[in-house]
């Protein structure tokens, strides 16, 4: 195994552990985005650029955006219910 592959695999493993150990949903979304970029690097190192592009869109942009917008919506609904 190439040393670059080992480094990227370790980075992805640390990112996965960071996602699992995060308690705050917003922080978890941010760490998941970083983990997703690690997966993109992993796919590029293993010469799978098409999978890397898909992972970039999903884990780097789409999932964190949907998660943060859902959290904001729930927080706004709780605020409205609390003031009524």
Average pLDDT of every residue of the chain: 90
Whether residue 26 has pLDDT greater than 70: yes
Contacts of 38 (CB under 8 A, 6+ apart): 8, 11, 12, 15
Band of the pLDDT at 84, cuts 50, 70, 90? low
Q: Could you tell me the two tokens for 5?
A: 């592959």
At residue 15, the pLDDT reads: 94
Whether residue 82 has pLDDT greater than 80: no
pLDDT digits (tens, 9 = 90+) for 28-69: 888 988 899 999 999 999 999 999 999 999 987 888 788 889
CB atoms within 10 A of CB 21: 9
């Amino acid at each position: 195994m190439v040393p670059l592959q080992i480094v990227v695999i370790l980075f992805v493993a640390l990112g996965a552990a960071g996602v699992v150990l995060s308690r705050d949903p917003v922080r978890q979304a941010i760490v998941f985005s970083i983990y997703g970029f690690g997966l993109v690097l992993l796919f590029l190192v293993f010469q799978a650029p098409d999978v890397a592009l898909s992972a970039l869109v999903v884990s780097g942009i789409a999932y964190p955006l949907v998660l943060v917008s859902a959290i904001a919506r729930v927080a706004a609904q709780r605020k409205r219910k609390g003031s009524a």
